[in-house]
Amino acid sequence: MKFTKIQGAGNDFIVIDDRAGSFSLAESEIRRLCHRHFGIGADGLILLQNTPIADFRMRIFNSDGKETEGCGNGLRCLGRFLLELGLSLQKTRIAMHEKIVEISAIGEQIGVEMGEPQNLQLHIETEQGTLHFVDTGVPHVVHFVNELETAPLHQLGPFWRRHPLFFPKGTNVNLAKVEKGEIRVRTFERGVEGETLACGTGACAVAIIAHTLYSMPSPIAISFPGGHLEIQIDGRRLTMIGPAVKVFDGIIDFF
């Protein structure tokens, strides 16, 4: 089984061409592939598939082996994979769970039209502070802090990720600090169950909440430990632009 490892701002994925529909690995096997020491190492695994409702379908599995609703950085990495296959990437329609998005090459970067966020809720009071919630394809909470580097994401992430307010699906957790010209963010990802170097849907969540709360103008620059993303806001429609870089190709032959 051939694969390509691609990373977007440090969020890395194993990407497989499954247009033939032959992929059949179990959760435990996906966990092994994504393991940083005993496998290839990745935040998730992405399948490129055919579908009658769009140009392609993206299925994505987190590193825990479970399929999730979507992933912004994963969409950009899928876009890079399409380019690696020699396919066009201009408003290419990708079916992802229950929505269809468009991805395009923008210079060396990849842009994703993420559509409109859903279920925006501001000023949710919890035992550990005030949260803001929005669904940008997957659920996210955002908590603004004064000191980002020293904030205890390793404690707050698991606490809010499984909080009863977000039962049964749980949520991703973003700590954000607004600075002049950008917002710096750290994200605890559901399914990875730890901090990742970047999160595309998290960047969209932080951007629309900051735009709503603080009237931050579009485009909004989002800085993660792994790199930078730009979120454009037109009304309530979001477009994410950022890097997606091939790391290496390989063959899976140990199953």
Q: What are the average pLDDT values for consecutive 10-residue runs of the chain, which has 255 residues?
A: 97 97 94 96 98 97 95 96 96 93 96 96 97 96 97 97 95 96 96 96 98 96 98 96 98 79
**What is the model's pLDDT at position 9?**
96
Structure token pair of residue 191 = 């399914």
Which active-site residues does the annotation give?
71, 199
Look-up: residue for tokens 């979120």?
231
Give me the pLDDT at residue 180, please: 84
Question: What is the dotted CATH code of the domain comprising 2-113+243-251?
Answer: 3.10.310.10
Question: In sequence order, which residues have a C-beta less than 8 Å from that of residue 75 and are 6 or more positions away?
Answer: 58, 94, 96, 101, 103, 110, 112, 200
CATH among 3.10.310.10, 3.30.830.10, 3.40.50.1100, 1.10.287.70 for 118-235: 3.10.310.10
Q: What is the pLDDT of residue 255?
A: 58
Query: CA-to-CA distance for 103 and 241, rounded, in angstroms?
Result: 10
Q: Any idea which residue has 């309530």 for tokens?
A: 236
**How much is the pLDDT for 56?**
98
Domain assignments of the chain as residue spans, ordered by start: 2-113+243-251, 118-235
pLDDT of 168: 93
pLDDT of residue 165: 97
Phi, psi of 179 (to 5 degrees): -125, 170
Tens of pLDDT, residue by residue over 190-227, are 999 999 999 999 999 999 999 999 999 999 999 999 99
Contact between 30 and 16 under an 8 Å Cβ cutoff? The reply is: no
The reply to whether domains 2-113+243-251 and 118-235 share a CATH topology is yes
Residue 138 corresponds to which tokens in the numbers above?
A: 């997957």
Phi, then psi, of 120 in degrees rounded to 5: -70, 125
- Would you state the pLDDT for residue 254? 67
Count other C-beta atoms under 10 Å from residue 38's C-beta: 11
